[in-house]
Chains A and B, each alone.
Chain A
Amino acid sequence: MAKSGGGAEHQRKKAHRHGGDGGEAGEGGQVAKKAEAAIEEADELLAEIDEVLEENAEEFVRSYVQKGGE
């Protein structure tokens, strides 16, 4: 599947949010490393989603019709 660059940017923002506050002065390298690891992890997760996501999403979603319950 083609990947655009937008995801990486989003994940960087996320990594900053989760890990950015904890870094002390002089640990910049470690913070960057952590951020990189987080991006990689997020990419792996999305790749895993690609693998399990139902095919023919459009048809699938359209035909998912339920009767009301309760």
Chain B
Amino acid sequence: MAIPKVMGIETEYGITVPGLTEFNPVLGSSMLINAYVAHTSRRVRWDYEEESPLRDARGFEHAREPAGPSEEDLGLANAILTNGARYYVDHAHPEYSTPECLCPRELVAHDKAGERILARSIERASELLPSGRRMLVYKNNTDGKGASYGCHENYLVDRETPFARLAGEVLPFFVSRQVFCGAGSLGGPVAGEFGPYQISQRADFFEAEVGLETTLKRPIVNTRDEPHADPEKYRRFHVIIGDANMSEVAILLKVGTTALTLMMIEDDAITGDFALESPVQALRRISHDPSCGATVSLRSGRAVRAVDIQWGYFEMAEKYLMRHEAPEWAGEVMARWEHVLGALETDPMSLDRELDWVAKWTLLSSYRDRDGLRWTDPKLQMMDLQYHDVREGRGLASVLARNGKLERLVPEDDVRDAVDRPPRSTRAYFRGRCLAQFPGEIAAASWDSVIFDVGGDTLRRVPMMEPLRGTEAHVKPVLDECRTAADLIGRLQG
């Protein structure tokens, strides 16, 4: 029986100071995070004890890359927030990792909350910049000059599921899901009716089918094995193939359909064979065809469209959900999935209110038509970038949403709530509540621990190796009764 899909999204944001060529993005990112945290809570240290980014799901450990000192050694900003999220400097980007969520809609709210947090960080950091300077932040995945930065998803899966089968069965799904979760990019060769426009920001940066790397030779299926939970029972399936989405519908579909697919794999319910002849080429071919009509070859010899592969997974999911206990959120995801696949077959452009790549295309092409611009016009490239600007009212996706041209799923009040408050139904609740309630008594925290300093000689580490313990239902009554962290430690031991 598939385990509940605890999931989260980590986003590396693009960062720039216009007009300042010697801008240091590492320090800039640190400045953003520190400016945000200084206004909200006491800085709590990240606990690195259970981190092992070089462990491979295929069962071996890689030698440490000669990558220089770790983030911890450099003393860069690395904060845990009261909503249970981690907000830190990763490489040369500010990164926001949502807290663990148990349903796609909740994750949509927390992913959007990340944008709001970055926007607030910009406002607060601007006071620290020389006058006339401003820092800008983009939730996208490429600078259009050969660099890509990631938006990764994480899903809790059963350790018993053989990884080789998981990788093989999820691969065709990953190659084809971009037709609804691509964020759109002007970064391709000029060709045909769509000019240089392609569906995905990331497709051109992937070179391998399966592997551990994330920065070189990026693989479609990533094998990092760092569960941040009981390693005997769980994997954290680390997904690096996605685009960062502005559209709430795209986020919901991305995580909802992926969670359903992983549940089917855990229950060995993948009956169709969509193994691709050349997955890496297929990924690019699909991205470079916004008409969604191009076909790719299966190993069986059949030629199929991305939509056909997705219909295959959709139909398997339909059958699967009839025979298995369906999560509460499955109905909404299935209805959306069916709707977008139908529309992608008949008229992809009719999804301009729902999907990022279609919304952006529609906006760019109407602007281009109005002014008679060439595809290489910097104004269009600016729009391609500014679509992802996190500032409300300045980011073009937010302008579209405000004008009713990009559908919203989550009320803004819920997004604002998610800026400060953790999800209720995972261990993120315990982490976030403790941070809010005992900020002065927490020495460090991580995904799977909270370390308290309640005086005395030793720190008290509360392990949280079960992602579904520490929920509101589980710990709220206790937390409500505790005045101090020492009370809490006493209760947990008692």
Chain A residues within 8 Å of B, Cβ to Cβ? 1-4, 6-7, 9-11, 14, 17-18, 41-43, 45-46, 48-49, 52-54, 57-58, 60-70
Q: Is the CB of B371 within 8 A of A64?
A: no
B382 at the interface (CB under 8 A from A): yes
A62 to B382, CA, bound (A): 10
Contact with A along B392-411 (1 / 0, CB 8 A): 01101001100101000000
Q: Is the CB of B367 within 8 A of A46?
A: yes
Most buried by B among A53, A61, A62: A61
Q: Is the CB of A68 within 8 A of B215?
A: yes
Q: Min CB distance, A42 to chain B, in Å? A: 6
Q: Is the CB of A48 within 8 A of B399?
A: yes
Q: Min CB distance, B242 to chain A, in Å? A: 12
18 contacts between A and B (CB under 8 A): A4-B369, A6-B369, A6-B372, A7-B366, A7-B367, A14-B366, A17-B349, A53-B386, A54-B18, A54-B386, A60-B18, A60-B378, A61-B144, A67-B149, A69-B12, A69-B150, A70-B90, A70-B91
Total A-B residue contacts, Cβ distance less than 8 Å? 127
Most buried by B among A48, A58, A68: A68
Chain A residue at minimal CB-CB distance from B371: A4
Chain B: residues with Cβ within 8 Å of the partner, total of: 52
Contact with A along B1-34 (1 / 0, CB 8 A): 0000000000010111011010001000000000
B295 at the interface (CB under 8 A from A): no
Q: Is the CB of B143 within 8 A of A64?
A: yes
Most buried by B among A2, A17, A41, A66: A66
Identify 4 new A-B residue pairs, CB closer than 8 A, beyond the known A3-B370, A61-B381.
A4-B370, A52-B386, A54-B18, A69-B91
Residues 75-93 of B contacting A (Cβ, < 8 Å): 90-93
Residues 333-361 of B contacting A (Cβ, < 8 Å): 347, 349-350
Most buried by B among A42, A54, A69: A69
Q: In the assembled complex, which residues on chain A have CB atoms less than 8 Å from the CB atom of B91? A: 67-70
Chain B residue at minimal CB-CB distance from A52: B394
Top 4 A-B pairs ranked by shortest CB distance? Answer: A7-B370, A69-B149, A67-B92, A57-B382
A6 to B373, CA, bound (A): 11
Residues 263-315 of B contacting A (Cβ, < 8 Å): none
Q: Min CB distance, B10 to chain A, in Å? A: 9
Q: Is the CB of B18 within 8 A of A63?
A: yes
Q: Is the CB of B215 within 8 A of A69?
A: yes
Chain B residue at minimal CB-CB distance from A18: B350
Chain B residue at minimal CB-CB distance from A6: B369
Q: Is the CB of B92 within 8 A of A69?
A: yes
